[in-house]
Amino acid sequence: MVSAIGKTAVSGPIAVGVLGLAGDEQADLSVHGGLSKAVYALPSEHLAWWQAQRQTRGATMFEETLAPGFLGENLSLQGLLEKDLFIGDRLDFGDVVLRVTQPREPCGKFNAVMGYALAAKDMVQSGRCGFYLAVEQTGFLHAGATCQVLAGSRSVRVSEALQHKAWKHLR
């Protein structure tokens, strides 16, 4: 199975172009990457929950603490949850501006990486999916940088968009 899901932390500034972070890769460009999915962000608060899911859902051999990047995110954020962000909101890091475009939709590779068959279903049901970002202003990001949320139209929350997509797939 070819996957680019496991990312590793970088130190120092990283260039952000219209197609994402310098050095980032996507294995399946039919569902990942591109202008509207240039960056995948995940709230760091979700990692402990995902680790617990792996250990209680039949993947007890996985004892290691999940590090940022494990779920494929190339931007780990703190304090910005799916229920609080809306499609169209912008994250202004000063030098870089990113726009929220859609929630992440899990695939079968996610189940394999997480080590249990219901991981994708858990992502949808829990809403702990993270979200994709388009790059509106290129520049450099730095670890530990703060951002300001600039409100978009505020009509659809990321969490609501995920549930809508899930409902369409279940029909």
pLDDT tens figures, 12-69: 899 999 999 988 766 566 666 789 999 999 999 999 999 999 888 765 566 778 888 8
Q: Is the pTM of this model over 0.95?
A: no
Farthest-apart Cα atoms in the chain, separation: 46
The predicted pLDDT at position 171 comes to: 41
- In the chain, the number of structural domains is 1
Does residue 1 belong to any structural domain of this protein? no
The predicted pLDDT at position 55 comes to: 85
The answer to whether 86 touches 156, Cβ cutoff 8 Å, is yes
Question: Nearest-CA neighbor of 39 among 147, 160, 164, 166?
Answer: 147
Work out the average pLDDT over 139-167. 89
Tokens encoding 49: 């929950």
Domain of 65, in residue numbers: 14-170
Does residue 6 belong to any structural domain of this protein? no
Tally Cβ neighbours within 10 Å of residue 75. 23
Is the pLDDT reported for residue 10 higher than 90? no
Does residue 8 belong to any structural domain of this protein? no
CATH of the domain at 66: 2.40.33.20
Does residue 9 belong to any structural domain of this protein? no
